[in-house]
Amino acid sequence: METMGTKNPNRGNFHQRPSPPPFAAVSQSTTSFLSSGPVVGSEAPAFRPTPLSAPQTTRPFLSSGPMVGSEASGFRPTQTGKYDDPSIPPPPSSYAPPSVGPFQRFPTPQFPSTAQVVFPCNSALGQPVFSPPIRPPAGHVPSPPSSLHPQPQVPYVPMGSPPQSINHVPSSMNVPPSSLDPSFSAPRTTLESSQSAFPGYPSMPSKVVTQPPPVQSTPFATRQGGYGPPPPATSSPFLAHQGGYVPRPPVAAPLGVYSREQMPHQGSGPQMGAVQGLTEDFSSLSLASVPGTTIDQGFDSKALPRPLDGDVEPKSFAEMYPMNCSSRYLRLTTSAIPNSQSLVSRWHLPLGAVVCPLAEAPDGEEVPIVNFAPTGIVRCRRCRTYVNPYVTFTDGGRKWRCNICALLNDVSGDYFAHLDASGRRVDLNERPELSKGSVEFIAPAEYMVRPPMPPRYFFLIDVSISAVRSGMLEVVAQTIKSCLDKLPGCPRTQIGFITFDSTIHFYNMKSSLTQPQMMVVSDLDDIFVPLPDDLLVNLSESRTVVDAFLDSLSSMFQDNVNVESAFGPALKAAFMVMGQLGGKLLIFQNTLPSLGVGRLRLRGDDLRVYGTDKEHVLRIPEDPFYKQMAADCTKCQIAVDVYAFSDKYTDIASLGTLAKYTGGQVYYYPSFHSAIHKEKLRHELARDLTRETAWEAVMRIRCGKGVRFTSYHGNFMLRSTDLLALPAVDCDKAYAMQLNLEETLLTTQTVYFQVALLYTSSSGERRIRVHTAAAPVVADLGEMYRQADTGSIVSLFCRLAIEKTLSYKLEEARNSVQQRIVKALREYRNLYAVQHRLVGRMIYPETLKFLPLYGLALCKSIALRGGYADAQLDERCAAGHAMMTLPVKRLLKLLYPNLVRIDEYLVKASSMADEFNISRLPLMADSLDSRGLYVYDDGFRFVIWFGKMLSPDIAMNLLREDFATDFSKNQVTLCENDSEMSRKMMAVIKKFREIDPYIYQLCHLVRQGEQPREGYFLLGNLVEDQTGGMSGYLDWILQMHRQLQQNA
């Protein structure tokens, strides 16, 4: 039996130290991520289909892909595995923010709390249409003030003086790890709030504590990174690796941020330059609050750290090991691997990696291709590791030692080369596999069980009345036809079509025909395939017939008034056509399946279910038919992409399962209308069809002795405990995984990781892409923090939290994120607070300065925010599916989008788009000026915000006759006209789209004060403000700070 993941062993409980002595670790209960995925699923599907109480099993599927031979021999056979989500405790009652700033006096404006009016839902990752379905808050919501910049200033507050001395904590003074409790019993506290006139706008100032301004500090290093998904699992809960987190002491900080000068740390590891004397930078945010009190004097919220430069890939990792693969392919949550289980138990953050095996190479670089024929690929004969830059050659070049398992292997005569005086091969620079961290091998015949499959595209298209009237059918037909010449793999590419409403329509595309022949099957209970050999045809040979079909498709059904959808039987028919061949199945679904197997019902409208233990059932598949079909598709190397269009409920939770387990993707277009969404659908479908794709792939990650990956998160099927089945892979997909120690104590100084992706290219070659990286093993928790990667940590947090929503309430998923951050900050604080007299301050490592803000943004994301009234069920599920597959940079941008002012650029004389400087603003209402024009960009859409007092000339130049039109009717579009200002505006929009070519961002125009449109598109997404009943950034920080103090 196959399971959704592999099991992480529970950690033992550690004795708790009394709180009075310095550096005492506070005992903390942790909540475990319970996962209960389908037994047949990938370890990391975006959503877990099976409820916790009823795990499902299905027959294990046999690998039918071309993975055999030497690669296969390195892979372990199918095994049963359990996989667990890391545990996460409930939310803190309060939290305090960090501040930075020059060593000076400065005015501290009162920080206003915004109202707790619950916003209607945020728009989905797809673009909303006409009037987005919004549930407005109860009661009347007054219009926001015309100016968004108020706030009187309070008197200057003098700074404290720096400490006279700084003491270094000896390495022997380690904090005992905190005990772990696998229950969910920790109390949840509600967030404090103050009412204001409108959410997102300042009003009644909240009470604040007197706080001296921050001190001059070394600038915040923007070292952050990756992204990681959550895992499904068996029905039994279990703890994932976590625990306290205790870095080495840095500098004492009276107020503000300080950097510690060179400070030695204890730990084992390879030569890393200045590692032995690496500086321990940490930040201290001075908040003069005590447990149970509020801040009674203004704290400068501008001093809070914000990722205004976006994601910055970690550099120190590459500097330590220059032969490592690029971080765009592999990012660890920390580049310092703990050497013991006790260290792991004190690292409360996820320990793992984010892998994007086919990420686009950096500009000017290509992954080198190596062909070992006729000698065969050089691999370790025991662990099957591929030869890489970290293997060592001995015995005059006749033997090489594997860096993963340390076995000594013989060097074949064809691969032999002499060694120089330093023990390096003389042909080292001519061998990419020995000098580059990323390489691609041409696989010989033994790596395939059948000839490499050609690229196959099969389209399953809804032609019911809603699909025709929305314009979806016409846009899809036109886009497919425009892409036929660009499909990869020509002239081997194959193509086929099925359409459906209440019946199923097959199309004979045989090359000898001049027009396609339609065959209709109306018996939905006993599906059969007529002319099975002529439904999936070679595109080059049948091009005339395919063109004729696409030209006539929209007119063929223009008078169709059928409202039914036999989607389930049509899906079975498509599988029968593709079952022996494999390929990519693209589904265009416009109506809730209503006939035959797989029919679905309306659900999610019962408000009483939310907040109960049954709430999560709405976010998992209703019918096991979809899980079973996904498993069958994966066995036959069929990847499924789902395009969902509807202004009504379509059950993304069920339909998305098809993409989740087959390595596919969900595209969601709520209330689709071709007049608005045509360009978006055209761009995204064209990219899906024409981007380079790896077919019938499998992926495995090998680790050095003593460590292994135990759970995986993303869209795939887990074929064995560590082998991921991926019918199709592309550059837009990322996968996350959690790491565990198999030994109590690691004795090596370095751990190596090797990602191997065996796949078929569109050109028909069997290839193996290999990414290799090394990381030091350390005995110092402080070093783990110094090498932490915020982006990768947030990515894993995101996936774990989304998977948790498939078994628990949304509130519990949000609480677990907040609690794990609090536990990590507490562990860090226990290391330094007493020794450096930082008892009244919240301190955090420099590398994780953005983690609290990203945690807040994650809790406010569409997938996790609020409850019934805050996002429609389909929107929420579609957002979760998208976030499960996003690479790190795109995920971080979605969580903390760009907010850019643009009117000042537009009025400048003769500026070019290339000269436009993208200066990001904090995501709060105070950043909006009523006289300005702003662009909000989260990577999925643009929101153009027109201030009430914006110059009429700008609005007239951009909108012409639509200048005074009500934007709420969604009929005003931003398009280029003959004015210079309009051309500059569209050039900037084009530049933004080129930065994120993956998704076509539609422009949504919003005028200040237009409700509920303004709240739906913009104000509800300003994550630093108090909106939708959730805390703002400052309140979030204060809650954490108070909780840290209460347990100090």
Provide the pLDDT for residue 609. Answer: 84
Band of pLDDT at residue 188, cut at 50, 70 and 90: very low
Same domain, 596 and 495: yes
List, for residues 762-814, the tens digit of each pLDDT value: 999 999 999 999 999 999 998 999 899 999 999 999 999 999 999 999 999 99
Provide the pLDDT for residue 771. Answer: 97
Closest CA to 481 of 534, 533, 526, 539: 539
Determine, yes or no, domain membership for 674: yes
Q: How far is CA 444 from CA 66, 492, 495, in A?
A: 11, 20, 28
Q: How far apart are CA 132 and CA 120, in angstroms?
A: 10
Provide the pLDDT for residue 869. Answer: 82
- DSSP 8-state code for residue 315: S
User: Helices (H) and strands (E) in the chain — how many of each?
Assistant: 22, 32
**Contact present, 1018 and 936 (Cβ < 8 Å):** yes
Same domain, 923 and 976: yes
Band of pLDDT at residue 837, cut at 50, 70 and 90: low
Band of pLDDT at residue 38, cut at 50, 70 and 90: very low
Q: How many domains does the chain have?
A: 3
Q: How many CB atoms lie within 10 A of CB 173?
A: 12
The answer to which of 159-163, 743-747, 1000-1004 has the lowest mean pLDDT is: 159-163
Band of pLDDT at residue 967, cut at 50, 70 and 90: confident
- Domain end, chosen from 690, 714, 740, is at 690
Same domain, 620 and 517: yes
Residue 934: in which H helix or E strand, if any? strand 933-937
Same domain, 424 and 464: no
Of all residues in the chain, the percent with pLDDT exceeding 70 is 69
Same domain, 388 and 481: no
Work out the average pLDDT over 682-705: 95
Q: How far is CA 937 from CA 178, 918, 999, 1004, in A?
A: 41, 11, 12, 11
Determine, yes or no, domain membership for 1044: no
CA dihedral 795, 796, 797, 799 (to 10 degrees): 90
**Residue 485 burial (C-beta neighbours within 10 Å; 0-12, 13-18, 19+):** exposed
Determine, yes or no, domain membership for 25: no
Provide the pLDDT for residue 19. Answer: 39
**Contacts of residue 985, Cβ cutoff 8 Å, sequence gap at least 6:** 902, 906, 958, 974
- DSSP 8-state code for residue 233: -
Is the pLDDT assigned to residue 220 strictly greater than 60? no
Indicate which CATH number applies to the domain containing 560: 3.40.50.410
Same domain, 463 and 427: no
Determine, yes or no, domain membership for 808: no
Same domain, 393 and 528: no
Provide the 3-class DSSP secondary structure of residue 283: strand
Band of pLDDT at residue 202, cut at 50, 70 and 90: very low
Q: What is the mean pLDDT of the chain?
A: 77
The answer to which of 218-227, 830-839, 924-933, 938-947 has the lowest mean pLDDT is: 218-227
Band of pLDDT at residue 315, cut at 50, 70 and 90: confident
Determine, yes or no, domain membership for 990: yes
Strand partners, 519: 506
Same domain, 632 and 559: yes
Same domain, 390 and 517: no
Determine, yes or no, domain membership for 535: yes
Determine, yes or no, domain membership for 79: no
CA dihedral 244, 248, 251, 255 (to 10 degrees): -10
List, for residues 337-376, the tens digit of each pLDDT value: 999 999 999 999 999 999 999 999 877 789 999 999 878 8
Band of pLDDT at residue 448, cut at 50, 70 and 90: confident
Name the most confidently modeled range: 206-220, 269-283, 304-318, 500-514: 500-514
Q: How far apart are CA 712 and CA 693, in angstroms?
A: 22
Provide the pLDDT for residue 870. Answer: 87
Is the pLDDT assigned to residue 1032 strictly greater than 70? yes
Q: How far apart are CA 660 and CA 678, in angstroms?
A: 26
Is the pLDDT assigned to residue 163 strictly greater than 80? no
Same domain, 431 and 463: no
Band of pLDDT at residue 912, cut at 50, 70 and 90: low
Is the pLDDT assigned to residue 468 strictly greater than 80? yes
Indicate which CATH number applies to the domain containing 936: 3.40.20.10
**Contact present, 97 and 1033 (Cβ < 8 Å):** yes
Task: End-to-end CA distance of the chain: give it in Å, rounded.
Answer: 47
Is the pLDDT assigned to residue 214 strictly greater than 60? no
Provide the pLDDT for residue 834. Answer: 61
Is the pLDDT assigned to residue 61 strictly greater than 70? no
What residues make up the domain containing 573? 456-601+613-690
Q: What is the CA radius of gyration of the chain?
A: 29
Provide the pLDDT for residue 162. Answer: 34
- The answer to whether the peptide bond before residue 569 is cis (omega within 30 degrees of 0) is no
Determine, yes or no, domain membership for 737: no
Instruction: Extract the tokens encoding 1037.
Output: 């920080």
Provide the 3-class DSSP secondary structure of residue 256: coil
**Contact present, 940 and 1004 (Cβ < 8 Å):** no
Is the pLDDT assigned to residue 266 strictly greater than 90? no
Strand partners, 643: 588, 667
Same domain, 514 and 637: yes
Indicate which CATH number applies to the domain containing 397: 2.30.30.380
Strand partners, 521: 504
- Domain end, chosen from 690, 724, 739, is at 690
Name the most confidently modeled range: 115-119, 408-412, 954-958: 408-412
Instruction: Extract the tokens encoding 630.
Output: 């996904």
List, for residues 586-609, the tens digit of each pLDDT value: 999 999 999 999 999 988 777 888
Is the pLDDT assigned to residue 1028 strictly greater than 70? yes
Of all residues in the chain, the percent with pLDDT exceeding 90 is 54
List, for residues 641-666, the tens digit of each pLDDT value: 999 998 899 999 999 999 999 999 99
Same domain, 423 and 462: no
Provide the pLDDT for residue 516. Answer: 93
